[in-house]
Amino acid sequence: MIGIGVLKGMWVTLRQFIGTYPAGRWLLKRAGLPEGDGLCTIEYPEVKQQHAERHRVFPFLVYDATPDNLRCVACKICEQECPPQCIHIVGPAKDEQGRPLKTHGRTYPLRFDIDVSICMSCRICVDVCPFDAIEMDNAHEISSGGRFQELNYTKEQLLKSADYFQKIKPTEAAVVDQRLAAKAKKSAPPSSS
Ligand code: SF4
Ligand code: SF4
């Protein structure tokens, strides 16, 4: 029947409203209806909201063990693919002869900035990165007093450890770890035995 969905929605709102009051909860209980606690909000900041693991805010750069061991090799694929063009990479770092510098066997970006005032949290940078070097953070308490430089996150601000990634997104991190382990196995030199 046309409009039944609207009526159902209005009933949910009304029930929630009634359930805000002790007398209303008593009434709902008497009527054999779910009473709930009537609360739609939490006492933030004392109480923190529990987000689903896939909740995402802005990207961060992953490093293994120490911050100089970042996974990003400055290939710039994410910079090219980011729809609002809010990633800016300088590098890879080079020596005086123009040869790419390496640390832990990888090239690395001299600069890596993300302007989070423009980022739309689409996750495309994560999906296109061939090195699992960038992931989506779920930290959302990131308000700032300024609108410009303060929201242009630098490489140093973006770097977070693989342990942090495992802590906030254990399921996703386990898949990434498996993929990296398989890659490492594939590229390892064959044993001489
Ligand atoms: S984050 Fe990934 S895609 Fe972007 S530059 Fe680094 S390695 Fe390349
Ligand atoms: S999440 Fe989307 S908008 Fe934000 S930096 Fe990545 S690709 Fe760009």
> CATH assignment of 59-185, given 3.10.20.30, 3.90.700.10, 2.40.50.100, 3.30.70.3270?
3.30.70.3270
List the residue whose alpha carbon is closest to atom 4 of ligand 1: 78
Instruction: Give the position of tokens 């699992």.
Output: 132
The mean predicted confidence, pLDDT, of the chain is 91
List the residue whose alpha carbon is closest to atom 8 of ligand 2: 82
Confidence of residue 37 (pLDDT cuts 50, 70, 90): low
> pTM for this one?
0.79
CA distance 164 to 90: 25
Examine the pLDDT at 104 and tell me if it is beyond 80.
yes
Ligand 1 centre distance from Cα of residue 155 (Å): 12
Predicted pLDDT at 144 = 87
Q: What is the distance, to the nearest Å, from the Cα of residue 106 to the centroid of all Cα atoms in its chain?
A: 24
Strands 87-90 and 134-136: unpaired
List the residue whose alpha carbon is closest to atom 2 of ligand 2: 122
Confidence of residue 76 (pLDDT cuts 50, 70, 90): very high
Ligand 1 centre distance from Cα of residue 131 (Å): 7
Confidence of residue 22 (pLDDT cuts 50, 70, 90): confident
List the residue whose alpha carbon is closest to atom 4 of ligand 2: 119
Pocket test for ligand 1, best of 70, 108, 134 (most atoms within 8 A of CB): 134
Q: Return the SS3 of 27.
A: helix
